[in-house]
A and B are shown apart, each in its own frame.
Chain A
Amino acid sequence: MSKEMIICDNVSKTFETSRGDVNVIGNVSLTVNENELLVLFGPGQCGKSTLLNCMSGLERVTTGSVTINGRTIDSPGPDRGVVYQRTALFPWLTVMGNVEYGPKVRGMSKSERREKAQYYINLVGLEGFENSYPNQLSGGMQQRVGIARAYCNEPDVLFMDEPFGHLDAQTRYLMQEDLIKIWEKEKRTVVFVTNNIEEAVYLADRIAVLTNCPTTVKTEYEINLPRPRDYIDPEFLRLREEISSVVDKAL
């Protein structure tokens, strides 16, 4: 029924290092539908981020191919947005400067891009902080800037690489809740990487469980719970339990 947005076809990735080749991604075939929120869930260090980087074009695949919207991905590009674990905000730019960066380098006029950036700054709840520098903001607020910056380029797909991994538990819950609100308002295809099962079940339309390195897709779960989800709903807890028992133990 819905369109296939991202297609990973037999993707593998091997890094050449001084100690020989390291095979990080085994053989992954995966599709992500338009406006779907897919969570890549797996143990720590299993290659989730590498798989995400292959999908976004930051890394090149060794074999196989990634296509987004019918186009083969082999380099970074503004049709894809990335939210990073370590935020990767430009520290010398203000919140406004960071959010409008994408449209600016792509040549959008100042008034147009300011208006657009303001819309996304408001969307993530940072109205009034436009002129603050990243180091003046809390971790949660910095990640909101990261989300607004990725959204502001109006990409087809958004890749989120453990964006809440560095936040404290309380902020993390709040950010998960707000991310769903933002996403429901501005639907995009999202691939979200996490090693936190609670986060995975809370956010996902579908969870792809990954194995240890070299990673492959072990199994997939459709999560059909209504939103907003309740962390202590019996069905939520059952899914959490079931998926936890399937995933490999981190080394």
Chain B
Amino acid sequence: MVMKSELLNSVSLYGETSTSFLTLYDGFSYFKTNEGTLAYVSTTTAWVGAGDPLIVQGSPIEFLKQFQAAAKKMRKQAILLPASQGLALEARKEGFYAIQIGSEPWLSFESIPPKVHQQARKLLAKSAVVEAFDPLKISSQERSGLDLITQDWLDHRKTAPLSFLNKIEPWSFVTHKRYFRVIFHGAQVGYLAAVPIPAKKSWYLVDLIRAPDAPIGTTELLIIEATKQLKAQGAEQVTLGMSPFAPIEGDEKKLGLSAYWWFEKFYDRLNFLYGFKSLFQYKEKYNPVSWKPQFVIALDKKITVSMLWGIFRAIYPQGLLPVLASLVAKIPDKLSIRKFYSSLLSPRIVPRSPPQGLLEIIQNSKATLILIMANVLFFFTSTDSNFRLRPMMAEGFAFSGHHFFDQDLTFHGAVDLTMASFLHWNTFHLFFNVMTFLFLVTFLEFVAGSAIVAITYFTGVILANPFTLVILYPVIRYVFPHSFQSFFEERDVGSSLGIYSCIGMLACFTKYEMKIMSAFSVGVVGYAAITGSFLSLNHITAILIGYMMGKKYVATI
């Protein structure tokens, strides 16, 4: 049994890593010999050591061998993380397996760049206050307020409860920590707790908690103030803690371990699970004086699945199900349609405000909903009992080259073209068009308004087919003469010309004009090639009509 006071003494004398102090929290077992002490968590398959051991005398590697032997007696494997680079390199020499899993940034007050200071100053300019505080001296109301912020922060993150060295216990060992908070318009909006690294005269800014609606600059202000005040109290540097899967540099990268390829993919691609990249970039903006690699050391020739499972259970003691549940809970946020649409929008146009709530969504998509209802209504009145377009309706109103050249190009022509757009061949045809209405035309209406949708839709509906006919007439007559007759007799119904025209207009409001235009055009060409239908190229005409209208409109605004 190791007394906490004894441990505290060991940490003070020998704790050289940022996580040393955190091993004083509850939940750890301690492996102690004359050479040193190592905090660890015992899981079903492994003893997971928490960081570097506190070595009193002798070789750390010899100590780790004793730890490994003790774990083996209990039929457990032994692993430790996060370990310092020095220990990892020594471990490798002994044949143990060590791999870098992240990096830890170390800051000094002087190294923080002006841009970050500016962010903090902007918040101060808005009358925010940042101050050190003692949790034992603040009122119970203020303390409850901070607890509430912590709970909101945890709820907002939607993660399963963390353990091991990731516990949030801001009020443990209060007298040894330093605290800072930001007060904005009379309310506490964020706080920071720093733990000492006594042997290094440094501090680890371990808990950086802000209210979900805290103003921009809150965390920057906390970090700058903490770094400044801790420096005034004699600290040499502070650390923000490890950034998992941070980019690997230097000699370690040259080893070319296959695991590092995977880590790079996790860093780039798995940010929907955990913000590996954003966390690294956030810490990087403070312009750290150094990034110290952090390792996992498997006390064996290789790292095994049991060891990895041990690490998982050490961090997530409640098991796999809560973790999966938390991932599922994040899906609505990650799949936020609003965020997705905002990410597509052009940075040069201020769109209409996104609708809040169902009523506003309906109000802001009037034109689309009316068009959908009109299409559905016409569908039910123009189809037979099998929901197929009645031949009489197709004969009378479907567009064809044959029919078009019999018309005079007046109002009646326009009416017929419009009528054709409200007819659909079958249920699938209607369904497909309604879906594109809902996802694409609605988006245009949210961004640009009902009038734009209506004008663009009907322009596409009226002009796309005649223009296509005029453009393709000489091409088909002279290049594909055998298709000439069928081209003229081909019939077209459906709202897709209006929809494609809206897509062309929509492209002008996004960052991806050419990609959208190309994607839909290639799709049309592909469809035309598969079906052998020249007239279906009218969709390209429609999208171009919408695009040109869009370019003109956007240039005026």
- Is the A/B pair a real complex? no
